[in-house]
Structure 1
Amino acid sequence: MNVTYLDRILDAHRAAAANDARSLDSLMAEIAEMPATRGFRRALDEAEGIAVISEVKRKSPSKGDLFPGLDPAALAQDYARGGASCLSVLTDEEWFGGSVLDLQAARAATGLPVIRKDFTVDARDVVDARLMGADCVLLIAAALD
């Protein structure tokens, strides 16, 4: 059997989730205290013409570094000036070089809604996305049980 990048990435994320002892209920209680999300779907619906989701991505497993010295805030501002409807920010550290700080910097730099692009394998991953400031979360069908 051929093991793909996706297989290895998902195995690592599933192992991390299995070792996460945090209570989902306590995490959900934290979300209840947060301000409302920016309307990701609304931003797409209200776009003039075609809606664009612009991505903040440092590297990929197959291509290596894509943008050495990336400044997520500056890139987010460039995307907003260019007419992006929403931002997609990679937060996977090991494989894509992203981070929670990348998402937070991009979100703070504009008023655009932000989707967390990562490998969501557990309900706590969805809650974590919200806690870090994401307005939306990407789900990859192959990652879900």
Structure 2
Amino acid sequence: MTTHTYDPARVNVTVAAATLSGFAEDSFISIEEIGDGVTSTSGADGEVARAMSSDRRCKVTIKLQQTSAGNDVLSSLLQADRLSGGGGIFPIAVTDLRGRTLFTSSEAWVVKLPPSEFGKEVGEREWEIQTGKSIYFVGGNS
């Protein structure tokens, strides 16, 4: 029997040339495919046909503490994209250094600014990033 270890401090998120830090407590990143993957249909006689989507876009949601310098990075990337008329596309990578999950795309962009709330405790900022064609592999941990 082998013991496997996950360490959230060993999950690296890199956007453009910046490595993000100051993640929110609990779930701080989620990655999901936008495309349909494999769909199927059944004819009247029960014959099944499949269609494989070639859509490799992904949606990446990153939750940062409101105090994180990563908010400045993501705001700047969005502003550069808006000011350049769409020329602000950047690379993104998410790597679990204690595991085998890997995500990367050479074409990513911030969708919009997150809502901002202010209270008596440190809040969170939830950023949505979408990508062009991506490489995404979900693996276990060492």
Q: TM-score range by the shorter chain?
A: under 0.3
The structure with the larger Rg is 2
TM-score of the pair, normalised by structure 1: 0.23
Give the structure with the higher percent helix. Answer: 1
Give the structure with the higher percent strand. Answer: 2
Report 1 or 2 for greater relative contact order, CA contacts < 8 Å, sequence distance ≥ 6: 2
